[in-house]
Amino acid sequence: MGLTFEGETIEDEIIEEVRSPKRRRRLKKPVLVAIILISVSVVLGAAWTVVKKFFPNLIPQMTRSVDEGFVADETGAYSDWTVMERVSADMEQGFAMQLPQGVNAKAISIENHYRDRALLIRLSGIKASDFVSTYVSGNVSEISVVAWKAKDNEILVSFQMSEIWEYEVTQEGSKLVVKNTAVRELYDTVVVLDPIYSSSISDDVTAEVAEACALLAAENGVKVYITRGIGSERSEAERLALILDTDADYVIEISVSADSDSSKYGLSAYYNDRYYNPACDNVSVADTVLKNLATTVKNRANAIEPAAEDSLLMLVKQPAAGVNIGFSSNSDEWALLQKDSYRKALAIGILNGINEMKEE
């Protein structure tokens, strides 16, 4: 059963009409407060309360939506970081970092910078002088380099890893224990979303929709990776490497169109027509996602066509398709795409398409 998009009509939150010179077509006013999103947040809050009660030393993992480039400078060197000692030691899984005396779990946060194949740990309220003798031990062969630096009343510790992992971090006495697990051991379905970057568009709509989809997907047993962060650009090689490293089940590109005819509007889809997968062909992926998008946001579904020859989709062997979520050249549709409520509805539509495919 798919997610639904429901809410109430509120001033300044009403879905705008999409107008054309030849005809006016009023999109139905879908509900703008997503009850499903509220429900998810309530469930998450309740679940985390239980986790904190029974696992008080578990540190939650966050994924950064912005590419900060903290790992290394352009030369690949840690120019303003101090490299830490790594000591190989027997551990069933993962590795451990010695902590200065007096550090508690509330002062620790972790961030999975998977696009950089890195783990960032933040330790607040710690002096640099208390951290100089810290080291890392355990299965350190999985770590390319680990380094730290002091910044704004906190210590940042960067672990450059050999591959993409999911992390579970706990504090055990004076050690911070990191267990790294392959995504396939945690999720049955892995999806890579590739939001197309455009320097000519001031608002990063495609990345915002991708981030909203990733948040919802986790509650539905689907792991979503995104090829770039909000407001940043990644090369084709970097985006393709993420797809290959995660061994994704599906790849979905998200784009916004522009046309000299400002009356054009609506949704469309495109697909990789080079590779055919009998279990799930690319045309079916495009059709399923587009159908669910159109149903969820109550917008017009236009054509499904082969992707352009220079599209990243043409290099992908997994089931792959792209969706065009609207036209920036249509002022009314562009205004619609600025609304958080509509972006969340688009995210729900994409996720419903993913859920339909994985259930087949």
Split the chain (360 residues) into runs of 10 and give each run's mean pLDDT.
43 34 37 42 48 51 48 53 91 91 87 94 89 91 92 91 93 92 93 90 88 91 94 93 94 95 96 77 94 95 94 92 96 94 96 91
Instruction: Write phi, then psi, for 107 (nearest 5 degrees).
Output: -90, 5
At 62 the pLDDT is 52
Which residues are within 8 A (CB) of 231 and not within 5 positions of it... i.e. 6 or more apart? 66, 204, 207
Q: What's the rounded Cα separation, in Å, for the pair 274 and 85?
A: 48
Which residues are within 8 A (CB) of 224 and not within 5 positions of it... i.e. 6 or more apart? 190, 191, 192, 193, 210, 213, 214, 217, 218
Statement: 57-181 belongs to CATH 2.120.10: no
**Structure-block tokens of residue 196:** 């197309």
At 359 the pLDDT is 84
Residue 293, Cβ density class (10 Å: 0-12 exposed, 13-18 middle, ≥19 buried) = buried
Q: Which amino acid is at 297?
A: V
Q: Please indicate whether the domains covering 57-181 and 185-359 agree at the CATH topology level.
A: no
Sign of CA pseudo-dihedral 299, 303, 305, 308:
negative
At 31 the pLDDT is 39
**Structure-block tokens of residue 118:** 């890195």
Q: What's the rounded Cα separation, in Å, for the pair 45 and 38?
A: 11
Q: Which fold has domain 185-359?
A: Aminopeptidase (3.40.630)
At 78 the pLDDT is 58
Q: Which residue's structure tokens are 């051991």? A: 185
Q: Which residue's structure tokens are 């590109």? A: 253
Q: What's the rounded Cα separation, in Å, for the pair 127 and 159?
A: 20
Q: What's the rounded Cα separation, in Å, for the pair 128 and 138?
A: 23
At 269 the pLDDT is 97
Q: Which residue's structure tokens are 């587009």? A: 290
Buried b / exposed e along 13-49 (16+ C-beta atoms within 10 A): bebbebbeeeeeeebeebbbebebbeebeeeeeeeee
**Structure-block tokens of residue 158:** 């960067």
Cβ count near 65 (within 10 Å): 17
Q: Break the chain into its structural domains and give their ranges.
A: 57-181, 185-359
At 160 the pLDDT is 94
User: Taking the model in full, what pTM does it have?
Assistant: 0.80
At 221 the pLDDT is 86
Residues 118, 69 contacting (CB under 8 angstroms): no
Q: Which residue's structure tokens are 């030393």? A: 57
Residues composing the chain? 360
Instruction: Write phi, then psi, for 190 (nearest 5 degrees).
Output: -125, 130
Q: What's the rounded Cα separation, in Å, for the pair 165 and 112?
A: 8
Cβ count near 208 (within 10 Å): 22
Q: What's the rounded Cα separation, in Å, for the pair 110 and 170?
A: 11
